[in-house]
Amino acid sequence: MDLQEIDNAVNQARKELANRYDFKGAKFSIDYNREEKKITLVAGDDFKLRGIQDSLGMRLAKRGISLKSVKYNEPEKAFEGNLRQLVEILDGIPKERAKELAQIVKDLRLKVQARIEEDKIRVVSAKKDDLQAVITHLKSIDFPVHLQFCNYR
């Protein structure tokens, strides 16, 4: 996950919302905490919160960040009747999803080995064609986690 691209997307969304007519005079904020990998959205009402979510989602998508790699938590009441929503940035593959992914690779019945390494899955094979077949299959399914593929050597 490129954290600088997320920072750029947050800044662009903040600038866009400051210039939008329906946000003139409204109190809202988008705060990005790079260390914790979290974005905090604060808005006056539910309509404005959805507007912030849409703007942020568009900016993330334009910068090549998959919307599957962000998780919107439930909005909660904040100070002075505002709504606060925490957006988590998902980096890596959770353990239970990694097990599912490894099982999908094993079910292909190719001569490949899938190993779970922390928040990654390493697929090893002697044949490059088998690895490309695994990548093609994984791209064709709709997996709930954003998948990136590194070199296959």
Looking up residue 46, the CATH number of its domain turns out to be 3.30.70.990
- Is there a single domain that holds both residue 113 and residue 79? no
Domain-embedded: residue 115: yes
Position 153 scores a pLDDT of 56
Give counts: helices (H), strands (E), the chain. Answer: 4, 7
**Structural Rg of the chain based on CA atoms:** 19
Which residue range forms the structural domain that includes residue 129?
95-140
Domain-embedded: residue 119: yes
Whether this model's pTM surpasses 0.85: no
Domain-embedded: residue 152: no
Residue 97: partners with Cβ closer than 8 Å, 6 or more residues away: 143, 144, 145
Position 72 scores a pLDDT of 93
Residues of the chain under the 70 pLDDT cut: 152-153
Q: How far apart are CA 28 and CA 46, in angstroms?
A: 12
Report which of 57, 121, 114 is spatially closest to residue 92, judged by C-alpha positions.
Answer: 121
Domain-embedded: residue 73: yes
- Is there a single domain that holds both residue 76 and residue 134? no
Contact between 121 and 115 (Cβ < 8 Å): yes
Domain-embedded: residue 83: yes
Structural domain count of the chain: 2
Domain-embedded: residue 25: yes
Structure tokens belonging to residue 103: 């099982």
Q: How far apart are CA 68 and CA 62, in angstroms?
A: 14
Position 85 scores a pLDDT of 95
